[in-house]
Amino acid sequence: MTRILITGGAGVLGSEIAARAKLAGHTVRVMSRKPRPANADTEWAQADMGTGEGVEEALRGVDVIVNAASNPFNTKKVDIEGTKHLAELGRKAGVEHLFHISIVGIDRIPYSYYQVKLAAEQVVKQSGLPYSILRATQFHTLPGLFFDFLKRFYWSPALFLTPDAQFQLIDPGEVAEYAMPLITAQPAGLLPDVGGPEILRMDEIAKSLMVAEGVRRPLIYLPMSRAIAEGFRKGYNTCPNNRYGKITWADWLARRYGTAKAARQPSIA
Ligand SMILES: NC(=O)c1ccc[n+]([C@@H]2O[C@H](COP(=O)([O-])OP(=O)(O)OC[C@H]3O[C@@H](n4cnc5c(N)ncnc54)[C@H](OP(=O)(O)O)[C@@H]3O)[C@@H](O)[C@H]2O)c1
């Protein structure tokens, strides 16, 4: 039986992987900064990759690490140094496979978070641990994060990225489904990218999300550097030849908000 430690195991993707790994009969250990919830049905390791606290204990008896933790607000400490520390301790603990989650196109779009993700991949490659890196396209949950402002400030406009940016959104459950057999397979280095079923423009996504949320606010597209905007416009963050996901954006909106509100959107390709 394989014991799998999932960093970020209580997060969007990590929890989907944890559920599938458990169903497949593996021993799952979720790593989180939070204490074990009463209803947790897996092993639980309270640890902080930013400070290193609890990480050594979290690795005890672990065969495979799935590194699905990330912290856009503390990238250096968590994504880079935290991953390095995790891998070093993992090597000492005899971990056989470090399975790292990354993002499609991070080497082609000069966005600061992507540069951190690229540095984290480098850490994984140089860790001395057998590794696999899976790059996924943006999840269906991501556009909703832009609504955080809306929910906090009634006066806020809806903020999105450049309108003609392309996105190949994927359901995080489908990323987990794709990843699962690879997690327990032999380490394979940089894996083929995984993406959703269709490519949509940012403005299409934003408008349909507003309809589904039932809010009417001015849409403002955040200014970004030419090089970053160009990268998203050209779809460097997509992988049109690797459309693994079946759940479309409209399907996801319908599931999340109910069919009546979710407007169908045409895809670019
Ligand atoms: N979201 C997307 O569209 C997308 C697309 C492609 C790839 N990815 C990648 O997929 C991975 C998972 O993303 P996600 O959307 O599932 O993110 P998420 O829901 O925000 O989960 C990230 C997890 O990281 C953990 N974390 C943050 N700081 C930590 C720390 N100091 N120590 C330990 N754990 C910490 C958090 O766990 P606790 O709060 O429980 O401590 C959180 O659950 C990331 O590597 C991300 O870059 C995301």
Q: Residue with the nearest Cα to atom 37 of ligand 1?
A: 8
Please report the pLDDT score of residue 154 as a whole number.
61
Considering only CA atoms, which of 242, 235, 116, 134 is closest in space to residue 180? 134
Please report the pLDDT score of residue 180 as a whole number.
98
Inside any domain, residue 124: yes
Q: In which region does residue 244 sit, left (phi positive, over 0), alpha (psi from -120 to 50) or beta (all else)?
A: alpha
Lowest mean pLDDT across 25-34, 80-89, 143-152, 169-178: 143-152
Inside any domain, residue 40: yes
Q: Distance between alpha carbon 222 and the CA centroid of its chain, in Å?
A: 22
Regarding the beta carbon of 86 and ligand 1, being less than 6 Å apart is answered no
- Tens-digit pLDDT profile for residues 21-63: 999 999 999 999 999 999 999 999 999 999 999 999 999 999 9
What confidence tier does 150 reach under pLDDT thresholds 50, 70, 90? low
Give the DSSP H or E segment for 159.
Answer: strand 158-160
Cβ pair 239, 251 in contact under 8 A: no
Residues facing residue 221 across a β-bridge: 160
Q: Which residue has the higher pLDDT, 148 or 90?
A: 90
Q: Which two tokens stand for residue 212?
A: 């589904």
Regarding the beta carbon of 101 and ligand 1, being less than 6 Å apart is answered yes
Regarding the beta carbon of 46 and ligand 1, being less than 6 Å apart is answered no
Inside any domain, residue 264: no
Considering only CA atoms, which of 11, 26, 32 is closest in space to residue 181? 26
| Most confident segment among 27-41, 142-156, 215-229 | 27-41
Domain that holds residue 85: 3-135+172-190
Which value, in Å, is the radius of gyration of the alpha carbons in the chain?
19
Ligand 1 pocket test, pick from 7, 12, 34 with the greatest ligand atom count within 8 Å of Cβ, gives: 12
Please report the pLDDT score of residue 206 as a whole number.
87
Q: Residue 110 — φ and ψ, nearest 5°?
A: -80, 50
Q: Number of H helices and number of E strands within the chain?
A: 11, 11
C-alpha to C-alpha distance for 23 and 257, rounded to whole angstroms: 28
- Which CATH number goes with the domain that contains 122? 3.40.50.720
Distance 9 CA to ligand 1 centre (A): 8
Please report the pLDDT score of residue 19 as a whole number.
98
Please report the pLDDT score of residue 216 as a whole number.
79
Antiparallel, parallel or unpaired: β 131-136 and 189-190: parallel
Inside any domain, residue 117: yes
Inside any domain, residue 29: yes
Inside any domain, residue 75: yes
Distance 182 CA to ligand 1 centre (A): 19
Regarding the beta carbon of 8 and ligand 1, being less than 6 Å apart is answered yes
Inside any domain, residue 265: no
Kindly provide the residue ranges of all beta strands, DSSP E only, lying in the chain, ordered along the sequence. Answer: 3-7, 27-32, 43-46, 64-67, 97-103, 131-136, 158-160, 166-167, 189-190, 200-201, 219-221
Distance 246 CA to ligand 1 centre (A): 23
- State the amino acid at position 10 in one-letter form: A
What confidence tier does 221 reach under pLDDT thresholds 50, 70, 90? confident
Shortest-distance atom of ligand 1 to CA 139: 3
In this prediction, residues 231-259 reach a mean pLDDT of 95
Find all residues with CB under 8 Å of 242, minimum gap 6, and list them: 192, 193, 194, 195
Regarding the beta carbon of 138 and ligand 1, being less than 6 Å apart is answered yes
Regarding the beta carbon of 70 and ligand 1, being less than 6 Å apart is answered yes
Cβ pair 70, 33 in contact under 8 A: no
Ligand 1 pocket test, pick from 7, 13, 141 with the greatest ligand atom count within 8 Å of Cβ, gives: 13
Regarding the beta carbon of 83 and ligand 1, being less than 6 Å apart is answered no
What confidence tier does 176 reach under pLDDT thresholds 50, 70, 90? very high
Distance 157 CA to ligand 1 centre (A): 26
Residues facing residue 166 across a β-bridge: 201
| Whole-prediction pTM | 0.95
Total domain count for the chain?
Answer: 1
Please report the pLDDT score of residue 189 as a whole number.
98
Inside any domain, residue 34: yes
Please report the pLDDT score of residue 67 as a whole number.
99
Q: Distance between alpha carbon 156 and the CA centroid of its chain, in Å?
A: 26
pLDDT tops 90 at residue 219: no
Shortest-distance atom of ligand 1 to CA 48: 32
Q: Which two tokens stand for residue 209?
A: 């999300």
Shortest-distance atom of ligand 1 to CA 100: 45
